[in-house]
Structure 1
Amino acid sequence: MLTSKQKKFLRAESHEIQPIFQVGKAGVNDNMTTQISEALEKRELIKVSILQNCFEDNQDVADEIAAATGAHIVQVIGNTIILYKESSNHKQLILP
């Protein structure tokens, strides 16, 4: 579980990052969660964009992705989810 200080740090770090995944009307599937998990291993911090045609609630989508990948939800703001998962091989971020 991330502390509020760590979340604040990660929000600041994610400011310049562009979303690399999009969730559409099909919702979250196994292939998507596998790719997100691989991206988290390489980058540790990613953004996921939720498109307008996605009928699921944004928080539900974030919870589903986090549960499937083992990531922490840093923030759900609008249609964007910020996820963090500590990398075992490519550690780049050092949390406060």
Structure 2
Amino acid sequence: MTLTGKQKRFLRARANRLRPEFHVGKNGINTAFLTQIDDSIARHELLKINLLQNTDLTPAEVAAELTSQIPGLEVPQIIGRVVLLYRPALKEKYRRLSLQVAAL
């Protein structure tokens, strides 16, 4: 699923008031980090990840790694050292945002 420009704009507006839930530091991305991201995005559908100053990775590298490791993950925006992630919830009770995105 690829997002349209209108859907990305909607997600960026919703993410404006979100705080980054996860931080990528000098340890980079490991399996425990991927598991936490997968669990959290299954419930919230929209996440921000902040890259700390001591990391060797660039935001584009983090986005590419996460989208390759977690199925169905989309990156609506990378701004500065913050990566925005979106994936529709698999369980019906967590689908609030994805219903609005699908309607656009």
The interval holding the TM-score normalised by the smaller chain is over 0.9
Residue type matched to 2:65 in 1? E
| Structure 1 gaps, min length 5 | none
Aligned residues of 1:66 and 1:83 also touching (Cα < 8 A) = no
Aligned residues of 1:19 and 1:47 also touching (Cα < 8 A) = yes
Per-residue CA shift, 1:72-91, capped at 9, x if unaligned?
00111001000000001110
Q: Distance in 2 between matches of 1:42 and 1:35?
A: 11
Partner of 1:2, secondary structure, is coil
User: What is the percentage of aligned positions where both structures have the same residue?
Assistant: 35
Q: Please, what is the CA RMSD of the aligned residues?
A: 0.8
Q: Distance in 1 between matches of 2:96 and 2:56?
A: 35
| Structure 2 gaps, min length 5 | none
Match of 1:29 in 2: 30
- Give 1:92 shift: 1.1
Aligned residues of 1:74 and 1:84 also touching (Cα < 8 A) = yes
- TM-score relative to the length of structure 1: 0.96
- TM-score relative to the length of structure 2: 0.89
Q: How many residues align?
A: 96
Structure whose alpha-carbon radius of gyration is higher: 2
Counterpart pick for 1:83 among 82, 85, 92 = 85
Q: Distance in 1 between matches of 2:50 and 2:20?
A: 6
Match of 1:11 in 2: 12
State which drifts further: 61-70 or 80-89: 61-70
Runs of 4 or more off by more than 4 Å in structure 1? Answer: none
Q: Distance in 1 between matches of 2:84 and 2:23?
A: 12
